[in-house]
Amino acid sequence: MASQEKRKVAVTGIGLVTPIGNDAPTTWANLQAGKNGAATTQSFDASGFSTTFSAEVKDFDPETAVPNPKMLKYASRSHGFALAAAAEALADAGIAPTDEDSHRWGLAVGAGMMSVAYDDLKVVYDHATDDGYFDSDGLADPSFPANPVNFCRWQSNAGLGLLTKQFGIRGYSTSVHTACASGGQAVGSALKAMRRGQCDYMLAGGFDSMINPIGISGFCLLGALSTDNDNPAGASRPFDKTRNGFVLGEGAGFLVLEDWDKAVARGATIYAELAGDGNSLSCYRITDSPPDGNGPIQAIEQALGDAGITAADVDYVNAHGTSTQMNDRSECAALKHVFAGRVDEVKVSSTKSCTGHLIAAAGAVEAAVCCLSIRDGIAPFNANYGEPDPDCDVNLVLEKPQPGRIRAALSNSLGFGGSNSSLVFRNPESVNSKEANS
């Protein structure tokens, strides 16, 4: 019995809020120019931490980006990013849910972990501590500014609810929480939902902001962050031998996914085909991928197989490339295994060298970058690279973007806890050519 052909899914809209741009065109232009988003942290006083800098979103006005006071009442900082990026993606696609088809629209988001804002914790501390000891009677004090909205705001699925409400999505929905792999796995979950026939359209992406005393302190204790406080802009240097940790960033990225035939019928601009999804669990260390690249290898090979292509068809890899010693080494081992004899032909770069690591948003933002790379025939470059590492001897794009047609692009997201996500995007011309020859 012949296998049923997989439903083709088009990427027709992109929206971004990142440390180097509050929309997709600005982010893409600054990425090609090598602009760096890292600087001394401004949102709070980080001078007491071993890392005093981060890659923050700049000059973002949620009230301008999301002109809906009722929605913003329940939105955290990262929710504002998500609402703005999602609105841009829908506008870019030129399509949005209607009363007639809202049940055929789905939503898949990669979101950060449940957390509490530092200001909210401080309110509790001020009213419920006595000489450093917690006293619950303070919470019953009439002057305690109790606000149940705060509790709702910090639930891990709060962003999912806000997005469905804002855009009128009534179909399949899911919220993915797999650390740095969240955004990529959300996009992959959307692909699977569409192939199952649950949706004709999906809004898929990720958002996160851990630039607060709680997030910074946790990563500092893990020893995961770069401590190059005198040179924030040069601190994220993936695959460089002197790399010493990642730069914490924040932001959001969303894609509009659409049934290929429907997109063609309405004359939509198609960035790329979302063709393949792969996932694995490394089970090695909570902060590191295995040195031999075993977990990432599985995810990459699954994604290629799901897309119906081989390693010979890939021209660009947007690497996870966090700028940590073990993870960069592991990813390069995986790339050398998968691409074998042609590893020197495949362009590789980590755009975290400019944006920093956006955690749950990273995979979605980098998926969008792959689509833009395919559209424009440009591979972004790996910034801040100076000293080669023999363990990371892949074909890095250095010094400036490299032009050239990209038939297929691979996006890797390798998360804390061992979650690995790989996505494959294909050039629309490759898809049309295949159909014409079939």
Residues annotated as catalytic are 180, 320, 357
The token pair at 15 is 């929206």
- The rounded distance, in Å, linking the Cα atoms of 72 and 126 is 26
Residue spans of beta strands (DSSP E) within 90-231: 105-111, 129-130, 133-134, 173-176, 201-209
CA distance 151 to 212: 17
Calculated CA dihedral for residues 402, 404, 407, 412, nearest 10 degrees = 0
Tokens encoding 411: 């996006």
CA 335 to chain centre: 20
Give the integer Cα–Cα distance in Å for 423 and 438: 24
Q: Is 283 exposed, middle or buried (0-12, 13-18, 19+ CB in 10 A)?
A: exposed
308: left (phi over 0), alpha (psi -120 to 50) or beta: left
Taking the C-alpha atoms of residue 277 and residue 275, their distance in angstroms, rounded to an integer, is 7
Q: What is the 8-class DSSP label of residue 106? A: E
Helix (H, G, I), strand (E, B) or coil at 348: strand
Q: CA-CA distance, 279 to 423, in Å (whole number)? A: 9
Whether 305 and 227 have beta carbons less than 8 Å apart is answered as no
